[in-house]
């Protein structure tokens, strides 16, 4: 018996498994993106992104000023 070659059933199961895994991953990403988008679109999310962006600019300015 050749252990290296999978039968038709095993190959089909692999394809179905890969399809289900890919679909579930895409649904997870879409759901997370929708949730994050809803948060970022609100006033609280805009405040957080403004604070994080301002902090990043200040850190980059300090690094540049200190010769980094």
Whether 1 has a pLDDT exceeding 60, the answer reads no
pLDDT value of residue 26 = 98
Instruction: Tell me what pLDDT residue 6 has.
Output: 80
Tokens of 45: 């999310």
Beta carbons of 40 and 46 less than 8 angstroms apart: yes
The stretch 14-31 carries a mean pLDDT of 97
In the predicted model, what is the mean pLDDT of the chain? Answer: 92
* Cβ–Cβ under 8 Å, residues 49 and 40: yes
Q: What's the pLDDT at 3?
A: 60
Percent share of the chain, pLDDT over 90: 85
The model's pTM is 0.55
């Amino acid at each position: 018996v050749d252990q290296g070659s999978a039968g038709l059933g095993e190959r089909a199961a692999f394809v179905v498994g890969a399809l289900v895994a890919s679909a579930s991953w895409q649904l997870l990403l879409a759901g997370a993106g929708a949730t994050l988008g809803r948060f970022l679109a609100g006033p609280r999310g805009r405040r957080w992104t403004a604070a994080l962006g301002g902090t990043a600019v200040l850190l980059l300015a300090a690094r540049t000023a200190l010769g980094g």
